[in-house]
Structure 1
Amino acid sequence: MVFIKEGALQSHHEKQAAIYSCKVLLNCYLRECCEDQRKLLKVNRQDHTFSLHFQASHETIIGKFTFYSPNGEHEYAYFFLQNGQALTLTFLASLIVQEYLQHNKAITHDHVQNFIARVENSYQNMAVFLKHATSSLINDYLSSEQSLLYGHPFHPYPKNTVGFTSQEVATYCPELRTSFPLCYLAVRYDIFQETWVTESAAHEFLQKFEYDIRQQLKFDDDNYRILPMHPWQYAYVQTLEAVQKFERQQKIRFLGSSGPVCYPTSSVRTVYIPQFKCNLKLSLSIQITNMLRINSQEQMTRTLDAAHYLLAHDCFVEEHYTKVLYETGVCTCRFEEEALTALFTMAYRPMVLDEKSTYVVASLVEAPIQGKPCRLYDWLKGQNVEQWFRQYITISLLPIVRLADKKGIHFEAHLQNTLITLRDGKPHIFWIRDLEGVSIEQEKVATHRQAQGPLFYEKEQAWSRTKYYFMVNHLGSFIHALARDFQLSEAHFWQIVREMLLEEWEQTQNELVAHLLTTSVFYAKKNLYSCLIGKSEIPEYVAVKNALYKGNELYEIDDSFHASK
């Protein structure tokens, strides 16, 4: 089996990117594969050293934890091969792949080559981002969107952008603090399609993207509507024969770039336009992490159905400090082929928040320099961290479980889909965005007829959204960052969550709260396996211990074992 060769590390940035990429691969592998085979990982409780044996290759990794995380987000002082040789990223990836190949015959040579290439791409991008991250400071909403240098802590290639050239990475990736004007397409009325949640949203979009852009482009043909596009996608679709045919028929006309400057956000394909105070979720036929980022009809239907449902059911109306950032409309070209339509589809999201004091939560809990504290740590040093954390839970988790209990509404509220507005350094407003992931409990809907459609799930399926996206992904990493940097155990913060949920249950007898407190495990995505076998759209899950459940504290190696600075 041939694997991509890894050259000698030339710079500090490349070394840091390689170390982090190895850490993520190790943590993914330990979470997904070693819980059922605990004999493979041996940990010395006295000095926190460990050995990890790979049966297929008969190799063993030796290392030392600086922070052992019950959530699986471990930190390492070092790791190397048992023979004393350095552990390279490519070799670690090959060890992991060989373990999977031994047990899963469905993994093909192409699967392996694609996986290794994406691991390498992610590493190379990360090294570039670290090299050019001259300032990792976050001072407003926009800088927080463009400061997520490492990405998902449980993804084997969190910064993969296969499809972008190195120049396109430099032009379009948010980590490099990039900006650019959008490109615009004139779409003839008979194939222009738009759907809006409210008439005011439609008028707002017209004002910004029809009247203003038409004037700048000096385009006054009333037989057409204006459709914004990502510059990369704009160039890409012009290479397609079907699109060229529509252009010859003058159903669409390519108008070029113009308009206000936009800034790519942490998702790469979604942009922020300060002049218009909005996000546009644009289609981009590039694999960001493990999926092509195009807006399918199913995704957009889910998004607008969710917006309608949430507005009709007064979502968070009783919670003054918890809010939703709604997608209010979708525009596209209406072609016979749905796959072609998806290449042009965009969603509009007004950003009605205080840009100067609102931040993407994922960026706050990321440490811009490995081995140093997260960005949030510097803001909390002079405060009572437990009190701050209680306030955070008060405006995030508690409203989420109340809404789920009363109205059966659940979100994909992971770290990158949530924002926090601070006032005087304290949590003030918690925001949830990206409604494509909303799910509704069928049992909470008034009639069976109303519970039809892609939004509605059986209770257990809907609950799984909150359990994975908020409890495991969001709160797990949030608590890990606080515990590591304040030299406390993760159990310390989970106990605060437990106490607050117990109090909530005593007052409301909330069924979901009772479940969160009494289920022994949650389930996390097997991102490593899904990426290797190419099943990102239909992931598998692995059980992770629920830190709220009494008894699971025993799995923490040592309560006195905290991060060292």
Structure 2
Amino acid sequence: MSSLGSLARAQAAAQERLVTSLLRELAPPAVRDGDVLRIPLPGGELAVGVRTWSPTGHHRLADDVTLDGRPAAHEAVVAAVLDAVGAGPGHADLVADSVARTARYLDAPPVRSGDRTRDAEQSLRLGHPFHPTPKSAQGLDDADLGAWAPELGAAFVLHHLALDPRVVVTGGTPPVPPAAVAARLTAGWTALPLHPFQARVLAADPTLAVLEAEGSLRWLGPRGDPVWPTSSVRTVVDTVTGASWKLPLRARLTHFVRTTPPEQACRAVDAAAVVERLGPLPAGFGVIADRGFATLDPAVGGDRLAADLTVIARAPFPPGGPRVLAGVLEEGPDGEAPPLVADVRAAGDVHAWLRRWLDVSLVPLLVLFGRAGLGFEAHPQNTLVTTDAAGWPTACWVRDLEGAHVRADRLPPGLPADSPLVYRPEEAWRRLRYHGVVNHLALLVAVLGRHTVGEAALWATVADVLAGVTDRDAAPWARDLLASPTLPAKAHLRSWAAGRGEDPLYVALPNPIAAAARGRMSA
């Protein structure tokens, strides 16, 4: 059971996400009355106190909300927002599920493994700041969370399935089984690691039963050293070797069922090959590559079963204790300043710190997009920051190459034009701006600004860095960010309400970089 404090904080976080998403996506004619924001909705006027205002929508709101002038219970606030976006009756249950799980995570003691990388991965208790159900997990019950949730410091042993080579499809360098599994494996066969939840889901699958009866499949059971899950829940890391696997889960986390169609695995492997052929990457920027995959041949088991079994082998975390950006930007259970703020304060100069971060993150992203047409899904949960003993950023790492993309007008050598990695140029640029700027940089600036000098001053620093970009591949894209009046943002709330997780809606946000650039010119 959650304490009242944790439940209240989880509800406040959910309300803040719902209201800020509503403001970003529907832009109702809200009125600021001093420190109170009045928002007209179909169900009445919602009034909420504003603690801090953000040009990119990362507002911090007060916990107390009124509806038509009367104090509104949490459930009434949720209902009013969901009604405004046309959500169905079941959506309120999903919000309640996410709130309950968030409260449980807030009640849990912080993870203290002694590994900075693991501790950051397993510290993300509130989740995406613009998602209505960032911690919903349909299909996983409370006992499952106790065993497998990263927020609770989970570690567990994987199950394994052995497949005859005649029924296997692979790409890149397939996953290498742990020694304890390899010892039980027939020569030439492939071992697929399975999350314990997925092993339970598939235990009675009739197609697998037929393959087992035919001698093409063997269940090896739980074997190997324990693994720990990253913030994504389904990517796991071997506690002894550091090997990492992205596993499918037939559970709906946020609004996606987290299985992996082989096409998506091919996309990740294609992206890794593009990165490898690029040669040296910009200084301070690195990619944690997805090396290869293995799965059951869809021609044997069908597309759904292949997606249920596709395992992607990922390179280990690099040395230096990199930490997932989302984890170090989230405030502590009792509202403590995020860990990255402590680093910035230790460094002593937030503007210089931000410049160094941009030099190893946004600027290299623009260089690679211009030079190779390659973009990364560099949102805060796919980006890792390495800092030195004095708190200064020394490296940026991106991961999860399923989200990488290549411009169709800039195909790198060796990449086929029909690769799932290839996007229309305008779509590729939209993806990079959303993930790298709106999702990643805007959160970073909002958090650092809130705890230091304010956002406006930091966006001016961003504009100054981009204005100074001289690399010929990156400069055109830097100029676009300096001049474009808007930036694209996913409309998570409306997309979730409409069941459009795979085909999300977008909205245009005022571009704070362009606003800061105009301020520089008029100063």
TM-score (norm 2): 0.93
Aligned pair in 2 of structure 1 residues 507, 326: CA closer, same or farther (>3 Å)?
Answer: closer
- The residue aligned with 2:292 is 329
Which whole-Å CA distance do the structure 2 matches of 1:220 and 1:376 have between them? Answer: 45
Change beyond 3 A, Cα 1:240–1:277: same
Of 133, 146, 150 in structure 2, the residue corresponding to residue 174 of structure 1 is 150
Mapping 1:40-189, distance limit 5 Å:
41-44=30-33, 47-54=34-41, 56-57=42-43, 59-82=44-67, 85-101=70-86, 112-134=88-110, 140-189=116-165
Bigger mean CA offset, 334-343 vs 369-378: 369-378
User: Match of 2:326, SS?
Assistant: helix
Q: Which amino acid aligns with 1:334?
A: D
Query: 1:75 Cα deviation (Å)?
Result: 0.5
Q: Deviations over 1:97-144 (max 9, x none)?
A: 22233xxxxxxxxx6133222111110110100111345898610111
**1:18 aligns to 2:18 (yes or no):** no
Alignment of 1:286-435 (within 5 A): 286-314=251-279, 317-336=280-299, 337-354=302-319, 357-369=321-333, 371-382=335-346, 383-424=348-389, 425-435=391-401
Please give the alpha-carbon distance, in whole angstroms, between the structure 2 residues aligned to 1:311 and 1:469.
22
TM-aligned CA distance change 1:530 to 1:552, over 3 Å: farther
Is the 2:343–2:392 Cα contact (8 Å) retained in structure 1? no
Instruction: Kindly state the Cα deviation for residue 394 of structure 1 after the two structures are TM-superposed.
Output: 0.8
1:223: Cα distance to partner? 6.3
1:257 corresponds to = 222
Aligned partners of 2:332, 2:343: CA distance in 1, in Å?
14
| Aligned 8 A contact 2:367 2:471 in 1 | no
Contact 2:463 2:516 in 1 (8 A): no
Q: Cα gap change, 1:505/1:386 in structure 2, threshold over 3 Å: closer, same or farther?
A: same
Given the alignment, which residue of 256, 269, 272 partners 2:237?
A: 272
Amino acid at match of 2:296: C
Contact 1:129 1:175 in 2 (8 A): yes
Query: Is the contact between residue 210 and residue 225 of structure 1 (CA under 8 Å) also seen in structure 2?
Result: no
Does the 8 A contact of 1:545 with 1:552 survive in 2?
A: no
Pairwise CA distance, 1:452: 3.4
* SS of residue matched to 1:28: helix
Question: Match of 2:157, SS?
Answer: strand
Q: Is this contact kept in 2: 1:547–1:553, CA < 8 A? A: no
What per-residue deviation string (whole Å, max 9, x for no partner) do you get for residues 476-535 of structure 1?
00000001111x221111110100100115877721111111100011011001111111
Contact 2:482-2:517 at 8 Å conserved across structures: no
SS of 1:343 mapped into structure 2: helix
Distance 1:429 1:134 in 2: 26
Do the aligned partners of 2:110 and 2:123 also contact (CA within 8 Å) in 1?
no
Whether the 8 Å contact between 1:138 and 1:144 is mirrored in structure 2 is: no
What amino acid sits opposite 2:220 in the alignment?
L
In the other structure, the counterpart of 1:107 is none
- Give 2:52's aligned amino acid: F
Distance in 2 (CA, whole Å) between partners of 1:418 and 1:89 is 33
- Displacement after TM superposition at 1:175 (Å): 0.2
- CA separation in 2, counterparts of 1:133 and 1:478? 25
Q: Match of 1:106?
A: none
Shift of 1:277: 1.6
**Can you give the 5+ residue segments of structure 1 that lack an aligned partner in the other structure?**
1-7, 102-110, 555-565
C-alpha separation between the residues in 2 aligned to 1:139 and 1:224?
34
Rate the CA distance shift 1:121–1:15 in 2: closer, same or farther, 3 A: same
- Which piece of structure 1 moves more, 228-237 or 111-120? 111-120
CA change 1:450–1:342 in 2 (3 A) is closer
Map 1:433-512; keep pairs closer than 5 Å: 433-445=399-411, 450-486=416-452, 488-505=453-470, 510-512=475-477
Secondary structure of 1:381's counterpart equals helix
- State how far apart, in whole Å, the 2-side matches of 1:343 and 1:541 are: 29
Looking at structure 2, the residues matched to 318 and 211 of structure 1 have their Cα atoms a distance apart, in angstroms, of: 33
CA distance, structure 2, for counterparts of residue 180 and residue 291 of structure 1: 23
Which of 28, 32, 52 is residue 25 of structure 2 equivalent to?
32
Q: Is the 8 A contact 2:488 2:509 kept in 1?
A: yes
Q: Report the Cα distance in structure 2 between the residues aligned to 1:404 and 1:75, rounded to whole angstroms.
A: 33
Map of 2:181 onto structure 1: 213
Match of residue 560 from structure 1: none
Q: Secondary structure at the match of 1:256?
A: strand
Q: Relative to 1, partners in 2 of residues 1:81 and 1:513: Cα closer, same or farther, differing over 3 Å?
A: same
Deviations 1:7-41 (A, max 9, x none): x996111111111111111111111112xx32xx1
How many residues end up aligned between the 2 structures?
Answer: 515
SS state at 1:329 partner: strand
Structure-2 change in CA distance of 1:174 and 1:9 (3 Å): closer
Counterpart residue type for residue 11 of structure 1:
L
Deviation of the 1:88 alpha carbon: 3.0
| Residues 1:500 and 1:138: Cα distance change in structure 2 (over 3 Å) | farther
Deviations 1:56-82 (A, max 9, x none): 22x222221110111101102343224
Task: Return the offset for 1:236.
Answer: 0.6
Letter of the aligned partner of 1:526 in structure 2? Answer: A
How far did 1:90 drift?
2.4
In the TM superposition, what is the alpha-carbon distance from 1:376 to its structure 2 partner?
A: 1.3
Question: Taking structure 1 as reference, are residues 142 and 84 closer, same or farther at Cα in structure 2, changes over 3 Å only?
Answer: same
Q: Deviations over 1:349-399 (max 9, x none)?
A: 1215115x2111111111123643222122222321211111111111111
Aligned-CA RMSD value: 2.3
Q: 1:141 to 1:548 in 2, by over 3 A?
A: same
Q: 1:507 to 1:293 in 2, by over 3 A?
A: closer
**Partner letter of residue 194 of structure 1?**
T
The answer as to whether partners of 1:505 and 1:514 remain within 8 angstroms in 2 is: no
Q: Report the AA paired with residue 48 of structure 1.
A: D
Note if contact 1:229-1:282 (Cα within 8 Å) is conserved in structure 2: yes
The residue type paired with residue 117 of structure 2 is: Y
Q: Residues 137 and 28 (structure 1 numbering): CA distance in 2 closer, same or farther, change over 3 Å?
A: farther
Q: 1:552: how far off?
A: 9.1
- For 2:166, the equivalent position in structure 1 comes to 190
Seen in structure 2, the aligned counterparts of structure 1 residues 387 and 11 have a Cα distance that, compared at 3 Å, is same
Q: Is the 8 A contact 1:517 1:548 kept in 2?
A: yes
3-state SS, counterpart of residue 469 of structure 1 = helix
Q: Contact 2:157/2:227 (CA < 8 Å) preserved in 1? A: yes
8 Å CA contact retained: 2:375, 2:432? yes
User: 1:21, 1:89 within 8 Å by CA — same for their partners in 2?
Assistant: no
Query: Which one-letter code corresponds to 1:17 in the other structure?
Result: A
Q: 1:173·1:268 contact (CA, 8 Å) conserved in 2? A: yes
Structure-2 change in CA distance of 1:379 and 1:14 (3 Å) = same
What amino acid is the match of 2:395? I
Letter of the 1:263 counterpart: W
* Kept after mapping to 1: 8 A contact 2:38/2:46: yes
The farther-off stretch of 412-421 and 458-467 is 458-467
